[in-house]
C-alpha cells in the first residue's frame, strides 16, 4: 500500500481536485470517472433549458416580467455573446419607466441549473433584506448575460442594477450564482470595472444569506458614494450566525 498523499487532509476543507493519487503513469480509474462525471454535469448546466415560467410562478404573489434577449436559441447565445447582452424588441417594449432605487434581474447565464436551484430563494432574501428600497418589478431573462441588466434597469428608471446570473460551471460546482451590482447602469457598457461582483453563491460556497447581506451592504455604500466597481471596496462585516 502506498503512503497517504500529504495533500489528502486538505480535501476536508475544499471540493477542489486534490490528492488524486496515481495508477502507474496515470490517474486511478475512480478519479477519471469522477472527472468525467463533473465535466458532464458542467456541460448539462450550460445547455439545460431555462424554465423562466417556473421561476416566475415561484416568485408569486409578486409579479415578474419575462424577457428574452436577441439570442435566437441556446446555440446562438453561446456562439454570439453580444446577443445575450441586448433585449429583443418585444421584450424591450414591455418595460415601463418609473422611479426605483434598484432593479433585480434574474438571468440564466451559463447555468440555468443554478437559477432553478437557488434563484428564487436568493431573490426573496435580497428583497427582504432591503425593504427600505423601492424595487422595480423583478425581470427574468432567457439567454441573458450580465450587461443586459444595464439595459433593463435603465429602461425601468432604476438607480442600481442587481443581476443574479448562473455562473460558468466548473469541475467542482455547476450550480453557482453570481451577483453583479452596477450604479447608474447605462445600456451597452460591458466594462466589469464599473460593477461589483459576489461570486460562488450556493450552499456549498458563499451561503445565500451571507451573499444577500454583502449585496445589501454594497448597495447601501453605492448610494452613499454614487459609485460601484473599482470605486467601491467590498469590506462588509461578516454576517454573524444566530445564537444556537
Give residue 226's region: left, alpha or beta (phi > 0; psi -120 to 50). Answer: left
For residue 236, tell me if it sits in a domain. no
Number of domains in the chain: 1
Cell of 205: 460556497
pLDDT above 90 coverage of the chain, percent: 66
For residue 24, tell me if it sits in a domain. no
In the numeric block, the cell 404573489 is attached to 61
For residue 219, tell me if it sits in a domain. yes
pLDDT for the residue numbered 2: 54
For residue 11, tell me if it sits in a domain. no
pLDDT for the residue numbered 239: 67
For residue 9, tell me if it sits in a domain. no
* Sheet hosting strand 177-183, strand order edge to edge: 64-68, 138-142, 100-107, 158-166, 177-183, 195-201
pLDDT for the residue numbered 243: 58
Residues of the chain with pLDDT under 70: 1-4, 189-191, 239-244
Which residue range forms the structural domain that includes residue 175? 52-231
For residue 148, tell me if it sits in a domain. yes
For residue 166, tell me if it sits in a domain. yes
- Tell me how far apart the alpha carbons of residues 49 and 51 are, in angstroms, rounded to a whole number: 6
pLDDT for the residue numbered 240: 57
pLDDT for the residue numbered 3: 57
Q: Residue 216's CB: how many other CB atoms inside 10 A? A: 20
- 77 and 47 in contact (C-beta within 8 Å)? no
Cell of 87: 433585449
Alpha carbon 215 to its chain centroid, in Å, reads 12
- Length, in residues, of the chain: 244
- 162 and 219 in contact (C-beta within 8 Å)? yes
pLDDT for the residue numbered 1: 45
Taking each helix axis from N to C end, the angle separating 208-225 and 120-129, rounded to the nearest 10 degrees, works out to 50
User: Cα-Cα-Cα-Cα dihedral of 202, 86, 98, 67, to 10°?
Assistant: -70
CATH number of the domain residue 84 falls in: 3.40.50.11240
For residue 37, tell me if it sits in a domain. no
- Tell me how far apart the alpha carbons of residues 176 and 170 are, in angstroms, rounded to a whole number: 9
pLDDT for the residue numbered 199: 95
Short-list 191, 37, 194, 173, CA closest to 111: 173
**pLDDT per position as a tens digit, 76-100:** 999 999 999 999 999 999 999 999 9
Q: Which residues pair with 165 in a beta bridge?
A: 107, 178
Amino acid at each position: 500500500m502506498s503512503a497517504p498523499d500529504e495533500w489528502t487532509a486538505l480535501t476536508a476543507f475544499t471540493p477542489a481536485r486534490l490528492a488524486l493519487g496515481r495508477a502507474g503513469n496515470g490517474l486511478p480509474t475512480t478519479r477519471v470517472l469522477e472527472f468525467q462525471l463533473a465535466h458532464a454535469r458542467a456541460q448539462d448546466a450550460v445547455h439545460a433549458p431555462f424554465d423562466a415560467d417556473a421561476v416566475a410562478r415561484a416568485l408569486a404573489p409578486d409579479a415578474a416580467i419575462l424577457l428574452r434577449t436577441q439570442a435566437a436559441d441556446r446555440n446562438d447565445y453561446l456562439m454570439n455573446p453580444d446577443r445575450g447582452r441586448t433585449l429583443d424588441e418585444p421584450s424591450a417594449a414591455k418595460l415601463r419607466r418609473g422611479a426605483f432605487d434598484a432593479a433585480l434581474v434574474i438571468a440564466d447565464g451559463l447555468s440555468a441549473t443554478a437559477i432553478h436551484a437557488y434563484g428564487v430563494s436568493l431573490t426573496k432574501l435580497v428583497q427582504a433584506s432591503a425593504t427600505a428600497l423601492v424595487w422595480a418589478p423583478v425581470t427574468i431573462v432567457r439567454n441573458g448575460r450580465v450587461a443586459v441588466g444595464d439595459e433593463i434597469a435603465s429602461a425601468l428608471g432604476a438607480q442600481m442594477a442587481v443581476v443574479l446570473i448562473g455562473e460558468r460551471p466548473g469541475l467542482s460546482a455547476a450550480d453557482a450564482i453570481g451577483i453583479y451590482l452596477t450604479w447608474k447602469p447605462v445600456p451597452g457598457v460591458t466594462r466589469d470595472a464599473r460593477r461589483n461582483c459576489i461570486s460562488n453563491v450556493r450552499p456549498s460556497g458563499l451561503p445565500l444569506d451571507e451573499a444577500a447581506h454583502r449585496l445589501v451592504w454594497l448597495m447601501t455604500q453605492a448610494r452613499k458614494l454614487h459609485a460601484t466597481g473599482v470605486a467601491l471596496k467590498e469590506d462588509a462585516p461578516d454576517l454573524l450566525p444566530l445564537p444556537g
